[in-house]
Amino acid sequence: MKAEELLERREFEKLTPKVAMKFLYHPNEFYRFRGAEALGYLCKGEKARNYILRLFWHLSDESGAYCIGAPLGIAEIGLNNPEVFEGFKNRFVSLLDDWEVERKYVAYGIARTAHLVKDAYPNPVEKLLEVLKELKDNPDFVAYALFALKRLKAEIPNEFKKDCRFAKFYDGEGIKSIRICELLDII
């Protein structure tokens, strides 16, 4: 069975972390999310720490192999390894300041790990609100940022409560095109 099919079926135990990590580079966004979920499932303890370090390194210019899905992988590994992620949560939230990183993935990761990053520095709510002002014209980022704010039990800014632009949003099953105002009702 092909790795894509294993990801689609969530048969992560049949993959290796190395194979799952390759999907963080995949041109199809759905496979980036599923590859990250697989990494979270497959990486435990010291392996989790090493993969998080590797993924942060793959976000730097020095790595020579920039990984667009690295924030997704970091978050999923962190979600399943909270004791390891504790040492990385501040650095993870700080990725919102890096314009070279796919910040919608950082926002999604903050949503996934909300209970772990709620007391991070910088404050994830303040940082999300700051970047939301900067990226308010990007409906995909707005959707993930609002998802994260809601998971952090923060107030949604009024200007976005009636935002009915379409955004692409990964809901755990697939990438859906949904109006942001409708998304707020279901997340």
Place of tokens 């894509």: 4
SS3 170: strand
Distance in angstroms (rounded) separating the CA atoms of residues 160 and 139: 10
List pLDDT tens digits, range 27-49: 999 999 999 999 999 999 999 99
| Residue 67 three-state SS | coil
Return the pLDDT at 186: 87
pLDDT per position as a tens digit, 45-103: 999 999 999 999 999 867 667 899 999 999 999 999 999 999 999 999 999 999 999 99
pLDDT tens digits for 119-175?
999 999 999 999 999 999 999 999 999 999 999 999 999 999 999 999 999 999 999
| pTM listed for this prediction | 0.96
pLDDT of residue 51: 98
Output the CA torsion sign for 17, 141, 179, 117: positive
Q: Give residue 63's pLDDT.
A: 64
